[in-house]
Structure 1
Amino acid sequence: MSVPKLTRWLAIHLPHWSVERVRRRLKSGRREGSPDLAILLVETVAERSLVARCCGVAGRCGVRPGMTVAGARALLAGTDCHVEAHEPEREAAALAALGRELWRFTPRVAARPPDGLLLDVAGCERLFGGERPLLEAAVGHVRAFGFGARAAVAGTAAAARAVARFGPQALAQVASGCERAALEPLPLEALDLAPRILAGLHELELANVGQCLDLSRAQLATRFGEPLLAAIDRALGARPETVEVLRYAPPPSVERELEGVTDDLETLLTCVRLLLDDLCAVLEAEDAGALALMVELFPTDAPPARELVALSHPSRDPAHLMALIEPQLERVRLGFGVDRLRVTAPRTSTLRPRQGTGFGLGADLVPAIDRALGELLDAYAGRFGPRATYLVEAVESHLPERAFRPRPVPLGSAPPRLVRASLGAGERPSAVLFRPEPVEVRTDPESGALLALRWRAEERALVRALGPERLAETWWTALEPVELEERRAPTRIDYTSLDAPTPPPRKPRVEPSRDYYRVQDSAGRWLWLFRAGTRWFVHGEWA
């Protein structure tokens, strides 16, 4: 008589979770997220910027976690590189969100930061035609999000995690009762031990788990104490392991039954306003704000009508939420009337209460600015559509055409993080040309003073010139210089264009430095002029 399988655990390991999250975000933001882009996640330790995580591109160039950012940039000279701060809290929240996507396979899913997921699949395999199809379906679902994954199924959670991380196969199945045979060839790190215990085992010249298991328990307990025996027992199933699974929390929702059927729009809008007041009170009690709002109307003669709006920043302001949802409700067909309404916030985010200054003279300006920006972006997205609404963020670059980049507004997700980048100390024009335009400049042969220029088939005398200001790209980028074509280009950057051409691949080449001048012509116009080598270009204009 066969013994039934009591527990089966599916462990998913995401070996490049941190950098793949960043690369996925860069691709969704219409920025450079190509596989050739090197990604560095940095942390500050004792006032030193160190590499916390790096991608495979950086690893092949010699970058390793723990080295300084300056040293990593030197190794990546000539390679396009993206650097940002390592945020373990955000990664843990994103890992939990990915775990909730796996509820379609089992109701018991646990997130194991920094890069693992654990699923209790006992009894679920029959819904997928067997354990192997379930394993392949779960891993395929994770890979569909753009994350590399390894996975293993075993009778204990610890054994499944060890085989998923260090096993020879990307997808592995370990029969119940065979955990010891699967663990023996794995390195000691598979037992998830403390660094002190690992160092002690390496001092004994133990190479794998099997050599550790061959030692007597008394010897291991005497030298390393109870933690090592507990880790071994959990992996072999001799000791239970506590797993904290993700819990489902229903989204905040309020509902109202009408005393009768009505098709009067004003009456329904009044009911929605009252429900929004109740919903915002619930959100305030939870220190949360709505990132998405759904209003459901239940006609008596038709299926429910649902209207959904997404927000760029969490909000619990009833007036702002009503301004977003009201235009959509005005287009709903009410049929013979509605007798029930429901308002739900399907996606929420933490929104801390605002605190005034010491004497109540005003609130903190940063939350107020973020709130005003979010309301403005929501209004633009509602009027022009989310695909036509962009943010412009600053980039650490001295060259003007690389100092900004557009990105779409992330509606319905975490609020956008504004990049505090230095734009340089010099004065900049109000309009920057998308591509610098060539001009002919006449100078005094003796003093070198700028006398006149010919731009767009028009001769202009110059009455004043201020400069030069020398600008150059950072030494570690060494990118192909911007093409300075002999053709007309748009006078301003079109940030709303969704079909901007993809720039050609950039070759390693150092761009010459530029000398910028502020010049005023005889008509009073101020232009931003620069010289690159022996050629002159106009790059902007003050309005």
Structure 2
Amino acid sequence: MSKRRILSLWFPRLGAERVMRAERGLPPGPLAVVAELSNMQVITALNAEAAAEGLRVGQPVRDAHAMCGSLLTRPRNSPAEAAFLTALRRWAGKFSPWVAEAPPDGLVIDLSGCAHLFGGEAELIAVIEADCAAMGLSVRAGLADTLGAAWALARHAGQAAGSDRNGDAISQEARATRSKAGRRHWTKGGAAPQVSSRNTESSIAAPGQTYGALSPLPVAALRLESGVVEQLNRLGLRRIGDLLGQPRASLARRFGTGLVHRLDQAMGSAPEPVSPAKAPDHFAVRMTFPDPIGLKEDLMAAIDRILPVLCARLEAKGRGLRSLRLEAHRTDQAAEVAVVGLARPGHDPARIRPLLEMKIDAIDAGFGIDMLRLQAIQTEPVHARTVTGHAEAGRAVRDRLSGATAIEDLIGKLGARVGLETITRYHPASSHIPEKTAQVMAAAWSEPAQDWPPAPRPRPLLMWRPEPVMAPDTPALPDRFRWRGRNWTRAHATGPERIAPEWWLDDPDWRSGVRDYWVMVTGEGERLWLFYGHGGAMSSGWFCHGRFA
């Protein structure tokens, strides 16, 4: 007899009840979560009030509104539902360390050796139901020796097997005259099963009693495809018990090996382990003091002892720090918090220590600090860089000799004072428009550009939005013009360089059409970048776009 006990939790109204928890101000009444499916809005989840109105999952929204005029709908947020299911998985960790998600609306828990801690299996399910009721969630539980059997009990316990057959027999004719909803599964348009809040007797299969618990359930409880279920029903194989007595070879030959495999998983002949999600890596160290401290030297001495420990753990996992939090817990139960960031992920204590030292002065020790704690808020994988080719190898050697981390350390130190998000760098962009040849990126989260594409002509050091120049409205270069309230004279000029706008974009600064650019040296000693706009959607004229150094 197997000693393995698997608990399956099904949250049939997970999507709707998540919305009700997130939007506390929702008016009471029917609620449906809808999603786009084949260019049609269909229902993916319902609350209890909507189910009581006769609505069903998979029903078109237009039909649902015709049946229930007061129906309130919300669009489905699949990532939010997945995150909510992950939160429920963490909650279920109180019952067993082996908890896995069964998307989109279920959990699987391996309760082997854990039920006695709660007084038994029925008592444990009672605790689960009470917790879910407190969270505003509907839940159905199934407990058996196998994962497949537990899944079937959670979703189909107490549900009679239906039939889709029609024929000349009196019993079949009687079934054919019944309501179609009464003999179809509720997920395909039939009536929803009536489930009480406590249904532990029908959802718990005693150890070794999997055969008897699964026999009366419909074949859909084996997690089969809808086409296979319909074929089985047409042949009169409507209950799992009808399949257990059939030769496996003929079942596999007629319906495929998937049916036999699911049947073996439910009965325990084929393994189906519970694979819990790996716990996320958590990197934190702390140090407590027998007596409170408050001097900067003492705090740095403590950091020098615990920071290498944290960095060693990061290095062992192949991770690098991006954001680090320092917590100084005082004797009056208050805590001083400082956060530092790195421009490049790393686990070198020599690079992190100066950033922490810059934050120590802002910590108010109060009546003394009795504990220091360092926690890695954000980490990233640190991969070894592969250098190929002579040019890259030479650059790597020069960087190693000159200290390639100097610029990153500088960015980190400046970021500790003014914030990493305020430090930016330019990267080349694919555009022939002068002001669009570079894009601004955060220096801490981008690599420095190695090679800039050469410009066809020299570009000014300073550029601004085009400013009007008072000069004759002709393409001929003016000898005198007025700009920024001053009179200027031409000493020398080179050009023109014709630049056309990006016709596929509507840029307000380029509605002047094609431009002819000139580099003009004025008699006053300035080198200006002037252009003549040929009109386009605006009037033509002369403009100043920049100034050379």
- With normalisation by structure 1, the TM-score equals 0.53
1:505-520 alignment, distance < 5 Å: 512-520=513-521
Q: Deviations over 1:61-103 (max 9, x none)?
A: xxxxxxxxxxxxxxxxxxxxxxxxxxxxxxxxx9999976665
Shift of 1:272: 0.9
Q: Deviations over 1:464-499 (max 9, x none)?
A: 1223142432x5xx3322247xxxxxxxxxxxxxxx
Query: SS state of the match for residue 300, structure 2?
Result: helix
Name which of structure 1's ranges 528-537 and 281-290 shifts more when overlaid on structure 2: 528-537
1:228-307 alignment, distance < 5 Å: 229-230=260-261, 241-249=272-280, 251-258=282-289, 260-307=291-338
For the structure 1 residues 116 and 181, does the alpha-carbon distance in structure 2 shift closer, same or farther, using more than 3 Å as the test? closer
What is the CA–CA distance in structure 1 between the aligned matches of 2:435 and 2:399, rounded to whole Å? 28
Counterpart among 115, 118, 130 of residue 126 in structure 1: 130
CA contact (8 A) 1:396 1:423 kept: no
Shift of 1:349: 1.5
Match in the other structure for 1:438: 468
Shift of 1:345: 1.9
Which structure shows the bigger proportion of residues in helix conformation?
Answer: 2
Query: SS state of the match for residue 373, structure 2?
Result: strand
CA contact (8 A) 1:437 1:537 kept: yes
Partner letter of residue 458 of structure 1?
R
CA contact (8 A) 1:157 1:235 kept: no
RMSD, aligned CA? 5.4
What is the CA–CA distance in structure 1 between the aligned matches of 2:368 and 2:398, rounded to whole Å? 46
What is the CA–CA distance in structure 2 between the aligned matches of 1:419 and 1:12, rounded to whole Å? 51
Larger radius of gyration: 2
What is the CA–CA distance in structure 2 between the aligned matches of 1:157 and 1:528, rounded to whole Å? 78
What is the CA–CA distance in structure 2 between the aligned matches of 1:168 and 1:381, rounded to whole Å? 58
1:32-111 alignment, distance < 5 Å: 105-107=91-93
Structure 2 residue 2 is the aligned partner of structure 1 residue 7: no
1:453-472 alignment, distance < 5 Å: 453-462=481-490, 463-472=492-501
Shift of 1:350: 1.0
What is the CA–CA distance in structure 2 between the aligned matches of 1:457 and 1:451, rounded to whole Å? 17
Counterpart among 412, 424, 434 of residue 378 in structure 1: 412
Q: Deviations over 1:258-304 (max 9, x none)?
A: 46543332122122123223322222222211122223334445444
Counterpart among 481, 499, 504 of residue 507 in structure 2: 481
Query: SS state of the match for residue 518, structure 1?
Result: strand
Partner letter of residue 481 of structure 1?
D
What is the CA–CA distance in structure 1 between the aligned matches of 2:340 and 2:193, rounded to whole Å? 44
Match in the other structure for 1:155: 151
What is the CA–CA distance in structure 2 between the aligned matches of 1:126 and 1:226, rounded to whole Å? 40
CA contact (8 A) 2:489 2:522 kept: yes
What is the CA–CA distance in structure 2 between the aligned matches of 1:402 and 1:436, rounded to whole Å? 14
Query: SS state of the match for residue 282, structure 1?
Result: helix
What is the CA–CA distance in structure 2 between the aligned matches of 1:330 and 1:514, rounded to whole Å? 55
Name which of structure 1's ranges 281-290 and 4-13 shifts more when overlaid on structure 2: 4-13
What is the CA–CA distance in structure 2 between the aligned matches of 1:174 and 1:418, rounded to whole Å? 64
What is the CA–CA distance in structure 2 between the aligned matches of 1:393 and 1:243, rounded to whole Å? 48
Partner letter of residue 468 of structure 2?
P
Match in the other structure for 2:207: none
Match in the other structure for 2:257: 226
CA contact (8 A) 1:159 1:179 kept: no
CA contact (8 A) 2:411 2:420 kept: no
Match in the other structure for 1:525: 526
Equivalenced residues, count: 382
Query: SS state of the match for residue 375, structure 2?
Result: strand
What is the CA–CA distance in structure 2 between the aligned matches of 1:393 and 1:253, rounded to whole Å? 36
Query: SS state of the match for residue 248, structure 1?
Result: coil
Partner letter of residue 501 of structure 2?
A
What is the CA–CA distance in structure 1 between the aligned matches of 2:341 and 2:499, rounded to whole Å? 45
Q: Could you tell me which runs of 5 or more consecutive residues in structure 1 were left unpaired when the two chains were aligned.
A: 15-55, 61-93, 136-153, 161-166, 185-189, 192-206, 485-509
Query: SS state of the match for residue 324, structure 2?
Result: strand
For the structure 1 residues 289 and 270, does the alpha-carbon distance in structure 2 shift closer, same or farther, using more than 3 Å as the test? same
Query: SS state of the match for residue 133, structure 2?
Result: coil
Query: SS state of the match for residue 133, structure 1?
Result: coil
Partner letter of residue 482 of structure 1?
P
CA contact (8 A) 1:392 1:407 kept: yes
Shift of 1:418: 7.4
Shift of 1:125: 5.0
Query: SS state of the match for residue 7, structure 1?
Result: strand
Shift of 1:181: 5.6
Partner letter of residue 310 of structure 2?
L
For the structure 1 residues 400 and 444, does the alpha-carbon distance in structure 2 shift closer, same or farther, using more than 3 Å as the test? closer
Query: SS state of the match for residue 323, structure 1?
Result: helix
Query: SS state of the match for residue 155, structure 1?
Result: helix
CA contact (8 A) 2:89 2:101 kept: no
What is the CA–CA distance in structure 2 between the aligned matches of 1:183 and 1:419, rounded to whole Å? 57
What is the CA–CA distance in structure 2 between the aligned matches of 1:288 and 1:521, rounded to whole Å? 57
What is the CA–CA distance in structure 2 between the aligned matches of 1:419 and 1:213, rounded to whole Å? 64
Query: SS state of the match for residue 540, structure 1?
Result: strand
Q: Deviations over 1:332-352 (max 9, x none)?
A: 232443444332323321112
What is the CA–CA distance in structure 2 between the aligned matches of 1:267 and 1:105, rounded to whole Å? 40
Shift of 1:155: 3.3
For the structure 1 residues 300 and 458, does the alpha-carbon distance in structure 2 shift closer, same or farther, using more than 3 Å as the test? closer
Q: Deviations over 1:345-394 (max 9, x none)?
A: 23321112467899997746899998555434433332123564455555
Relative contact order, CA 8 A, sep 6+: which one is greater? Answer: 1
CA contact (8 A) 2:461 2:546 kept: yes
Structure 2 residue 459 is the aligned partner of structure 1 residue 428: yes
Partner letter of residue 457 of structure 1?
G
What is the CA–CA distance in structure 1 between the aligned matches of 2:348 and 2:435, rounded to whole Å? 38
Structure 2 residue 543 is the aligned partner of structure 1 residue 537: yes
What is the CA–CA distance in structure 2 between the aligned matches of 1:418 and 1:159, rounded to whole Å? 56
